[in-house]
């Protein structure tokens, strides 16, 4: 090794030792009589000193170094002089008195410095990821990621799971998102698909008798991206045989408990709280609610029906909903202009027709431009329904149920952050269960699977597959951390007849189902055990446990929102010869298709 120690390793007990350190120049300070350099690697920083005792040659060499140069120094450890100890650094009591220096590599002036206070825009960081990854925050995050993955692997090994790799090159199957396709050179005109998940393979593993499977799996989905979504991502994939939903949830509860304790020192009470999908939408407007604060949605449709306010009454009479939230003590914090901005927010981003509001004044008087349309008695009923007090702000949306959910969920989330209703460092874990089996696609006039086509219905709802698919509930469960879906799973269909029936509801004829999923349907007829599992989003776990806002900050080499790698310039064009080998032709977007 070129070095004897790392830059975060040495302490006062090492004083007098001769050591060799290698690293990057984090900063340097010329104090006339000597040059002081903070030498950095991923383990920490150590101050190295070039003094007159280093000799003229060494001092001369030191004058050539600049930030981000890679250097090697040899010297003896000494205590820092009294009054110069840096208590912020673990190595802050000591310094290295340099006896020799070797500049291993010079760094040209970088577009930014890894630990500069004001970070550049994300595109510049991603284009120069080799610099960005040197920063303390990125290094801490990737260490956390490694720690979380090891913790997961150790936990499942302890519980008798075996780690099995499944193929990256597979068959394109309709699983919800768009596939990334890979053309075959050997079988012209055919394509592999990169896996959206190892779903089918892990079900086959259960049928094959491997009752506890786990894998850190790479997955790919060609879909529009958001701050918490990437085209390629990593998940902890788990499957078990001879289990029910409570067994899967109990296994993950244990992982959450140990993760919270090991990473944050947090004691988590088990079992984690649960609520049904229907309850989550009714109380919070969303199937992944942030439970670190209250501000639950309140239904006042019955009161709206009594109002002379045409907007409320017409919505109630049409069978739609008037629902709202109350921001305690927030009336004075939101001017008419800020409320107008909130109105635009729910209109433009979430399709609401508007936002009604009341400020609660002394004497429990509700003030608002629309207050004149309500009797004093009815206003008192609204105040009572919202459990209002002077100084509160009531916000309401009148629209279809789905619109009130989306708009008020977003408004609740926005106000929760603005009013600091929770500690950002707090972690809250819960489960959402009993999702609908299907949702209806009005544009294509057909049912879609809410989770995936292999999800089992609740036993008491199986008959509804024939009579009322819209009422059929799935044995599905999502883990929610701080208002983000951190994992999702289901109990699978292990009966081929039920599986064929679900395929039929999804508009898939028997011939098509056999062509796309024949291997699964066949396998289900050869002794398939009851089984189920879950996939935990590792990237999202790192984001949540690391207190980050953007999933790209917890992946070493992420893609942009347009699925591009700005450092390597992927995706890129390929040689014509490669296309010919694959029998492919690149068409212009405006070229007529035959």
Query: What's the pLDDT tens digit per position in 355-403?
Result: 999 999 999 999 999 999 999 999 999 999 999 999 999 999 999 999 9
* Average pLDDT of span 514-538: 94
Q: pTM score, two decimals?
A: 0.93
Superfamily of domain 12-105: Nucleic acid-binding proteins (2.40.50.140)
pLDDT at 593: 54
Identify the burial level of 264 via C-beta atoms within 10 angstroms of its C-beta, where 0-12 means exposed, 13-18 middle and 19 or more buried: middle
* Average pLDDT of span 257-279: 97
Q: From CA 368, how far away is CA 324, in angstroms rounded?
A: 15
* pLDDT beyond 70 at 225: no
Q: From CA 409, how far away is CA 210, in angstroms rounded?
A: 42
* Average pLDDT of span 561-575: 94
pLDDT at 229: 82
pLDDT at 14: 97
* pLDDT beyond 60 at 145: yes
What is the band of 227 on the pLDDT scale with cuts at 50, 70, 90?
Answer: low
Q: Where does the chain hold its CATH 2.40.50.140 domain(s)?
A: 12-105
Residues 6+ away with beta carbon under 8 Å from 567: 126, 127, 128, 129, 130, 557
Q: Where does the chain hold its CATH 3.30.1360.30 domain(s)?
A: 293-421
pLDDT digits (tens, 9 = 90+) for 313-359: 999 999 999 999 999 999 999 999 999 999 999 999 999 999 999 99
Supply φ then ψ for residue 152, to 5 degrees: -65, -45
Question: Please, what is the average pLDDT of the chain?
Answer: 95
* Average pLDDT of span 196-222: 96
pLDDT at 594: 44
pLDDT at 224: 75
Strands (E), 380-463: 393-399, 429-433, 438-441, 446-449
What is the band of 483 on the pLDDT scale with cuts at 50, 70, 90?
Answer: very high
* Average pLDDT of span 501-505: 92
User: DSSP for 152-204?
Assistant: HHHHHHHTT-EE----SSB----SSSPPPEEE-SSSTT-EEE--S-SHHHHHH
* pLDDT beyond 80 at 272: yes
pLDDT at 443: 80
What is the band of 445 on the pLDDT scale with cuts at 50, 70, 90?
Answer: confident
CATH 3.30.1360.30 corresponds to the domain 293-421: yes
- Could you please state the CATH topology (level 3) that the domain comprising 120-242+529-594 is classified under: BirA Bifunctional Protein; domain 2 (3.30.930)
Q: Name the least confident of 119-128, 190-199, 291-300, 444-453.
A: 444-453
Helices 245-264 & 136-158 angle (0-180, nearest 10)? 140
Higher pLDDT, residue 515 or 340: 340
* pLDDT beyond 70 at 226: no
* pLDDT beyond 80 at 38: yes
pLDDT at 341: 97
Q: Where does the chain hold its CATH 3.30.930.10 domain(s)?
A: 120-242+529-594
């Amino acid at each position: 090794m070129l070095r004897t120690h790392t830059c975060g390793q040495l302490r006062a007990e090492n004083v007098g030792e001769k050591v060799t350190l290698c690293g990057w120049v984090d900063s340097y300070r010329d104090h006339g009589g000597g040059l002081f350099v903070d030498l950095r690697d991923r383990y920490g920083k150590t101050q190295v000193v070039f003094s007159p005792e280093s000799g003229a040659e060494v001092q001369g060499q030191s004058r050539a170094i600049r930030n981000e140069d890679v250097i090697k120094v040899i010297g003896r450890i000494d205590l820092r002089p009294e009054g110069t100890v840096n208590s912020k650094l673990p190595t802050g009591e000591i310094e290295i008195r340099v006896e020799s220096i070797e500049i291993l590599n010079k760094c040209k002036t970088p577009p930014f410095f890894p630990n500069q206070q004001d970070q550049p825009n994300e595109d510049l960081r991603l284009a120069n990821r080799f610099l960005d990854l040197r920063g303390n925050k990125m290094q801490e995050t990737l260490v956390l990621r490694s720690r979380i993955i090891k913790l997961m692997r150790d936990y499942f090994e302890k519980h008798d799971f075996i780690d099995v790799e499944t193929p990256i090159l597979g068959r394109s199957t309709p699983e919800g998102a768009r596939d990334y396709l890979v053309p075959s050179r050997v079988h012209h005109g055919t394509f592999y698909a990169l896996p959206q998940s190892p779903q089918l393979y892990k079900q086959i593993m259960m049928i094959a008798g491997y009752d506890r499977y786990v894998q850190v799996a790479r997955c790919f989905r060609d879909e529009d991206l958001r701050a918490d979504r990437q085209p390629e991502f990593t998940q902890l994939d788990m499957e078990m045989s001879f289990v029910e939903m409570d067994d899967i949830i109990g296994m993950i509860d244990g992982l959450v408990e140990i993760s919270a304790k090991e990473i944050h020192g947090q004691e988590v009470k088990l079992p984690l709280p649960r609520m049904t999908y229907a309850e989550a939408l009714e109380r919070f407007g969303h199937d992944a609610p942030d439970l670190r604060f209250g501000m639950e949605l309140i239904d006042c449709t019955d009161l709206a029906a009594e109002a002379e306010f045409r907007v409320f009454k017409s919505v109630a009479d049409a069978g739609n909903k008037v629902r709202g939230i109350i921001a305690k003590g927030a009336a004075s914090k939101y001017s008419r202009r800020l409320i107008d901005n909130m109105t635009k927010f729910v209109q433009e981003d979430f399709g609401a027709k508007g936002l009604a509001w009341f400020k609660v004044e002394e004497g429990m008087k509700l003030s608002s431009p629309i207050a004149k349309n309500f009797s004093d008695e009815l206003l008192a009923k609204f105040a009572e329904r919202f459990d209002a007090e002077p100084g509160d702000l009531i916000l309401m949306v009148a629209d279809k149920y789905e619109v009130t959910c989306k708009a008020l969920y977003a408004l609740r989330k926005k106000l929760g952050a603005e009013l600091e209703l929770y500690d950002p460092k707090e972690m809250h874990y819960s489960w959402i269960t009993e999702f609908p089996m299907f949702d209806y696609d009005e544009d294509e006039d057909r049912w879609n699977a809410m989770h995936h086509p292999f999800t089992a219905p609740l036993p008491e709802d199986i008959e509804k597959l024939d009579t009322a698919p819209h009422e059929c509930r799935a044995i599905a469960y999502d883990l929610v951390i701080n208002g983000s879906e951190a994992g999702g799973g289901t109990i699978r269909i292990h009966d081929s007849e039920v599986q064929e029936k679900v395929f039929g509801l999804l508009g898939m004829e028997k011939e098509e189902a056999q062509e796309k999923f024949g291997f699964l349907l066949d396998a289900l007829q050869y002794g398939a055990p009851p089984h189920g599992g879950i996939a935990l989003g590792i990237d999202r776990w790192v984001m949540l446990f690391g207190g980050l806002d953007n999933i790209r900050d917890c992946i070493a080499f992420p893609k942009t929102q347009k699925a591009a790698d700005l450092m390597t310039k992927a995706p890129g064009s390929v040689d014509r010869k490669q296309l010919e080998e694959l029998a492919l032709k690149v068409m212009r977007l405006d070229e007529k298709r035959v």
